[in-house]
Structure 1
Amino acid sequence: METYGKILLIAMPAFLLLVLFEKFWGMWKGKDTVPVNDMISSLSSGITNVTKDVLGLSIVVISYEWLYSNFALFQIQATWLVYVIAFFALDFAGYWTHRIAHEYNIFWNNHIIHHSSEEFNLACALRQSISSIVKIFAVFLIPAAIFGVPPQVIAIVAPLHLFAQFWYHTRHIGKMGFLEKIIVTPSHHRVHHAINPEYLDKNYGQIFIFWDKWFGTYQEEQDDIPAIYGVTRPVQTWNPIKINFMHLWLLIKDAWRAKKWSDKLKIWFMPLGWRPADVAEKYPVYKIQDVYHFDKYNPFLPKGMLIWSFGQLLVLLLLISYLFGNIASIGAPDIFYYGGFVFLTIYAYTELMDRNPNAWAWELLKAAYAFYFIFTRGDWFGLNADFPGALPVLIAYLGISAIIAIWFSFRKNEVQFAN
């Protein structure tokens, strides 16, 4: 996890710069596809995901190393051709993992966050799950294990395969000629993120589009059918932590409320969206019926709050960079305590963006959590030792953040009244 943290120290600022470039490019072209509130939510989701991954907060049911040691029929050297084979194997596994996430209730919870934005831009590519605690991805790599692709090759290729899925989350690139027949392009992926009936649950490919063509899930983008983005049961929040678990919570409630024991069990493995008839009738859930006529989630936020929320994001990026760069020296269990602060921070300022009247309480909880470690240890996980003078700055930030959160929380009614 330390190596992945080092990689992210380079990847995170690169992704942020590309997101900001798309924002300013759209403004310059008169087609801004990156609303600030949506961008902050998406980037915050990305932070929660990489924090979870770096801290290793997941359970791997079957590891690729185990598959390799038990199923490999050949022993091959890590040549350039093996890396190519590994890339194709990862993409094949990615197609099926992605498709299953869209087709079964129990797996959708791990993927809903990625589709939760009602926009389509580079930032929404970073909306990745923290709820995928149990990972089954390696099961689909059995063919690679049988043919002896070494685990170290998979370990190198996997991050490259993941990062290569970033660029096509944009509306600023049209169709790309002959490449449309080979790789996943922005046009293909716009279809995938769309909730239009004609586009729903199509184009699962991650790098190569021919999987969809071979397995019957391909749909071309139509000029006369503009893509509408989001999920048919809108999430109605900027808080990525809430989004990660809202489908799971619905399944739990539906299973509890269902009268038939068979329904309590099968709801988890039924097609996405299925609910027991008695539960659906008694506890209806809002679903978009006309994708061309619905209100996007966009609570009024004063410009000052947007600026402050973006500032919170930037401060958190600096603090998370310190964590990723010093995982070994901070050590366990302190890295998990640090991770708790990251999640609390995101929860607090996204609740404020949602205009939750209790957002100030989350901000105070975050401050109290941080001050506990600062005052009991005399430092923030070694930050002041590495950067003398950083601790007073952090303390000042925590105090100012709490004051501003309280001010915005109790100013809410005045703003609504004024409008």
Structure 2
Amino acid sequence: MEAYGQILLIAMPAFFVLVLFEKFWGIWKGNDTVPLNDMIASLSSGITNVTKDVLGLSIAVISYGWLYEKLSLFHMEATWLLYVIAFFALDFAGYWTHRIAHEYNIFWNNHIIHHSSEEFNLACALRQGISSIFKIFAVFLIPGALLGVPPEVIAIVAPLHLFAQFWYHTRHIGKMGFLEKIIVTPSHHRVHHAINPEYLDKNYGQIFIFWDKWFGTFLEENQEIPPVYGVTRPVQTWNPIKINFMHLWLLIKDAWRAKNWIDKLKIWFMPLGWRPADVAKKHPLSKIDDVYHFEKYNPQLTKGMLLWSFGQLVALLLLLSYLFGNLAAIGAPGIFYYGGFVFLTVFAYTELMDRNPNAWAWELLKVAYGLYFVVNSEDWFGLNSFLPGSLYIFVGYLVISVLFSIWFSFKKENLQSLNPSSPLK
């Protein structure tokens, strides 16, 4: 927990800078692929994901340590070769967990967030799930356990393997020659994120593309078929917490509505998109029929509101950095209370971005939650002791935050979006 928090203290600002670099690069080249509203939503999703992971809010059904103890045929020293084997083992496991997430209803809920952006950029790489309570990833690491890769090696290589999947979420890099045959490139991953009928369910690889070629899921990007991004049932929200649970909520409703008890059970394990016939007929869902002509989600926001939302994101990143750098000092249950504030903050300002008329109430709840801990401890989880005078800044932020949110919620304006939406051509 603490080690991962320290890694994120370096990784978070690095990713943030790279996302901003891609945006300014696109503006300079006349091809901005990073709308500010989409970027804020994506980075907010990343915040919720890393907070959940650092706090350890999930349960491994089978731990890798247990598999290693029971199945290892060899016991090897931690040489460079063992780290290479661990990397390949993780990539093999990643291919199959990724593929299963796309193929079965029950597993799609934790992955829909990653595909929910109707753009394709570095920021959307950070759209990662928070809805997975039980993890099955270790099951696919059985080859690594058999080969005797120690758990501590996996623990070191896993974050590197994860971060190495960031760079290829971009439209600014074309095909990469011979590398296209070996690793996952932006071209391969554009195909994976596309909702064009020709591209669906292809290129599940995370680092190496040969898994797709071996297991029959590879497709090359066709220059005559420009990828269109998102999901075929658009999420229609910037709120990452809502997105994380909307597919699960759909499955629960469909299972409840189904008349046949067999359908109530099998809906969870059927291919993605399957619904009981009686439910689908009585409760049809809107779906994109023509991927080349649909209107992207884009509630009209003033430039001021977008900049305010970006300011909320930056403030939250600073508060999150303090949490990750002081996990041991804050301790339990303080870190979980702090995590609650992080989630409430994301929920509040993304509801405002959605133009939800009740967004101010969520902001008020967030501020009341924060002030409760300030009043009771006369500090914010040791922040004022860490940086004298910072408590006044934090309380000032809370007051300004709620006032601006109420103002934006009720002010009637002639809204002009910073990123106007139009049908795709």
- Report the TM-score when normalising by structure 2: 0.97
How far apart, in 2, do the equivalents of 1:328 and 1:389 lie? 22
Q: 2:50 corresponds to which letter in structure 1?
A: V
**TM alignment of 1:5-404, pairs within 5 A:** 5-404=5-404
SS in 1 for 2:173: coil
Q: Give the superposition deviation at 1:414.
A: 4.2
The answer as to whether partners of 2:68 and 2:146 remain within 8 angstroms in 1 is yes
Distance in 1, Cα, partners of 2:74 & 2:80: 17
Alpha carbons of structure 1 residues 416 and 160: separation in structure 2 relative to 1, 3 Å: closer
Distance 1:417 1:227 in 2: 28
Structure 2 counterpart of 1:364, which letter? L
Amino acid across the alignment from 1:139: V
In structure 2, C-alpha distance between the alignment counterparts of 1:152 and 1:6, rounded to whole Å: 17
Question: Equivalents in 2 of 1:380, 1:415: separation in Å?
Answer: 39
The structural deviation recorded for 1:371 is 0.3
Structure 1 runs (4+) greater than 4 angstroms displaced: none
Tell me how far apart the structure 2 counterparts of residues 386 and 406 of structure 1 sit (CA, whole Å). Answer: 31
Give distance in 2, aligned partners of 1:114 and 1:204. 13
Q: 1:315 to 1:272 in 2, by over 3 A?
A: same
Query: Are the aligned partners of 2:303 and 2:416 in contact in 1 as well (CA < 8 Å)?
Result: no
Q: Letter of the aligned partner of 1:75 in structure 2? A: H
Amino acid at match of 1:357: P
The AA in structure 1 aligned to 2:85 is I
- Asked if 1 retains the 8 angstrom alpha-carbon contact of 2:90 and 2:161, the reply is yes
Measured on the aligned residues, the alpha-carbon RMSD in Å equals 1.2
Q: How far off its partner does 1:416 sit?
A: 6.1
The CA distance in 2 between the partners of 1:81 and 1:386, in whole Å, is 42
**1:307-350 Cα shifts (integer Å, max 9, x gaps):** 00000000000000000000000000000000000000000000
Q: Deviations over 1:95-144 (max 9, x none)?
A: 00000000000000010000000000000000000011110000001111
Return the offset for 1:379: 0.2
Query: Which letter does structure 1 place at the counterpart of 2:46?
Result: G
**Superposition deviation, residue 417 in structure 1:** 12
For 1:155 and 1:42, locate their aligned partners in 2 and report how far apart those are by CA, in whole Å. Answer: 26
Contact 2:352 2:360 in 1 (8 A): yes
Separation in 2 of the partners of 1:229 and 1:21?
21
- Counterpart amino acid of 2:212? D
Map Cα deviations across residues 1-24 of structure 1 (whole Å, 9 max, x no partner): 000000000000000000000000
Aligned residue type for 1:77: E
SS, match of residue 268 in structure 2: coil
- The residue type equivalent to 1:32 in the other structure is D
What CA distance in whole angstroms lies between the structure 1 residues aligned with 2:167 and 2:175?
A: 14
CA contact (8 A) 2:116 2:234 kept: yes
Instruction: Look up the SS of the partner of 1:75 in the other structure.
Output: coil
CA deviation after TM superposition for structure 1 residue 361, in Å: 0.1
- 1:415 Cα deviation (Å)? 3.8
| Paired amino acid for 1:144 | G
Provide, for residues 392-415 of structure 1, a one-character-per-residue CA deviation record: whole Å limited to 9, x for no partner: 11111100100010011112x444
CA shift digits 1:209-244 (9 cap, x unpaired): 000000000000001000000000000000000000
2: CA distance between counterparts of 1:157 and 1:416? 47
CA contact (8 A) 2:302 2:416 kept: no
Go from structure 1 to structure 2 and tell me whether the alpha carbon gap of 1:301 and 1:79 turns closer, same or farther (over 3 Å shift): same
Q: How far apart in 2 are the matches of 1:194 and 1:294?
A: 14
Q: Structure 1: any 5+ residue segments left out of the alignment?
A: none
Aligned partners of 1:319, 1:14: CA distance in 2, in Å?
17
Output the CA distance in 2 between the equivalents of 1:216 and 1:416.
Answer: 48
- Distance in 2, matches of 1:70 and 1:155, equals 18
- The alpha carbon displacement at 1:74 in A equals 1.2
In structure 1, C-alpha distance between the alignment counterparts of 2:415 and 2:70, rounded to whole Å: 63
Identity within the alignment, %: 81
- Distance in 2 of aligned mates of 1:157 and 1:174: 28
Q: Aligned pairs, how many?
A: 418
Amino acid at match of 2:65: E
- One-letter amino acid of the counterpart of residue 295, structure 1: E
Give 3-state SS (helix, strand or coil) of 1:267's partner. helix
Alpha-carbon offset, residue 168 of structure 1: 0.1
Displacement of 1:271 = 0.3
Do 2:102 and 2:201's aligned partners in 1 also have CA atoms closer than 8 Å? yes
Q: Which amino acid aligns with 2:409?
A: S
